[in-house]
Amino acid sequence: MARIALELSYDGGAFLGWQSQTHGRGVQDVLETALVSVGETARATGAGRTDAGVHARGQVAHFDALKTWEPRRLKLALNAHLPSSVSVMRAALTEENFHARKSALWREYRYFIWNAPACYPYMKPYVLWLRGSHYNWNPAAAAASSFVGEHDFRAFCRADDCPANTVRRVRYARLIHRGQMVLFRIVAGSYLTNMVRIAVGCLLEVAAGRRDRSWLHGLIEGSADRNAASRTAVARGLFLWKVEYPCNIWDD
């Protein structure tokens, strides 16, 4: 038995999230179905639990294989049985103690905003489209740095899913404005449910001039709850971009 890591890319609009679902499809469901089709019956474990509608460029999963696989052949075999909305981008043999979730050092998410009167049709399922011209992205970019460091993100967690410990350490957070595209990048070891999308919602409040940086800073420095923050930004603009591990697990 060998442990194999897979890097997956998927269109989250076709799924109810990563995790296997009782009613509806999770990405885990279709991956495990594809594994059965190639003679494997193992459970797949993902690095991050993306919510319904959230996409992934670089989700990582692992499973314990019953058969002996050359990674490239496994990638081709799985892609032949996966729907067009999911692709295995890389496969690799790993150490037996590798764990897609527990071994991860950090995860990067990216959120894409398109701020223009018109939007390219092929982009619409993958961005938050804002038509207004009243957004000022400079104060929002300055406010984004408030997330960096160790803070209590209770106000940035879906109320029904808030754990007892809501402190998280953010390694990097930056909002970048280039023409009509606005990109929010955030890197952390772990996240609360809806944390990134609520963070984006708060940055939109700052960009629209309805709130300022001190308000955002107060949300993570005090004992604010979910009601104190903004609405949750829509899922379609969010991507699980990359998962980093202590050692390079890929051959390429």
The structure tokens listed for 172 are 């990097």
User: 3-class secondary structure for the chain?
Assistant: CEEEEEEEEECHHHCCECCCCCCCCCHHHHHHHHHHHCCCCCCCEECCCCECCCEEEEEEEEEEECCCCCHHHHHHHHHHHCCCCEEEEEEEECCCCCCCCCCCCEEEEEEEEEECCCCCHHHHHHCEEECCCCCCHHHHHHHHHHHCEEEECHHHCCHHHCCCCCEEEEEEEEEEEECCEEEEEEEECCCCCCHHHHHHHHHHHHHCCCCCHHHHHHHHHCCCCHHHCCCCCCHHHEEEEEEECCCCCCCC
Selecting from 3.30.70.580, 2.40.50.140, 1.10.10.10, 3.40.630.10, what CATH number does the domain 2-103 have?
Answer: 3.30.70.580
Tell me the average pLDDT across 80-102. Answer: 96
Q: What percent of the chain has pLDDT over 90?
A: 85
Q: What are phi and psi of 124, to 5 degrees?
A: -55, -40
Q: How far apart are the two ends of the chain, measured CA to CA in Å?
A: 23
Lowest mean pLDDT among 7-11, 42-46, 139-143, 203-207: 42-46
Mean pLDDT of 37-49: 93
pLDDT at 97: 94
Q: Per-residue pLDDT for 130 more than 70?
A: yes
Among 74, 180, 73, 75, smallest CA distance to 132 is for: 180
- Equal CATH topology for 2-103 and 106-241: yes
What is the rounded radius of gyration, in angstroms, for the C-alpha atoms of the chain? 19
Strands 2-10 and 181-188: unpaired
Question: What's this model's pTM, rounded to 2 decimal places?
Answer: 0.95
pLDDT tens, residue by residue, 176-232: 999 999 999 999 999 999 999 999 999 999 999 999 999 998 898 867 888 889 999
Q: How high is the mean pLDDT of the chain? A: 94
Taken as a whole, the chain contains a residue count of: 252
Q: Could you say which of 11, 51, 212, 251 is catalytic?
A: 51
Reply yes or no on whether the pLDDT at 22 is more than 90: no
Phi/psi of residue 240, each to 5°? -75, 110
161 annotated active-site: no
The pLDDT of residue 1 is: 79
- Look at residue 252 in the predicted model and tell me its pLDDT: 64
> What pLDDT score was predicted for residue 42?
84
| Nearest CA among 207, 203, 194 for reference residue 168 | 194
104 CB contacts (<8 Å, ≥6 apart)? Answer: 47, 60, 189, 243, 244, 245
* CATH architecture for the domain at 106-241: 2-Layer Sandwich (3.30)
The pLDDT value given to residue 221: 82
Report how far Cα 206 is from the mean position of its chain's Cα atoms: 23
Domain layout of the chain by residue ranges: 2-103, 106-241
Q: In the prediction, which pLDDT does 157 show? A: 93
Residue 69 has pLDDT above 90, yes or no: yes
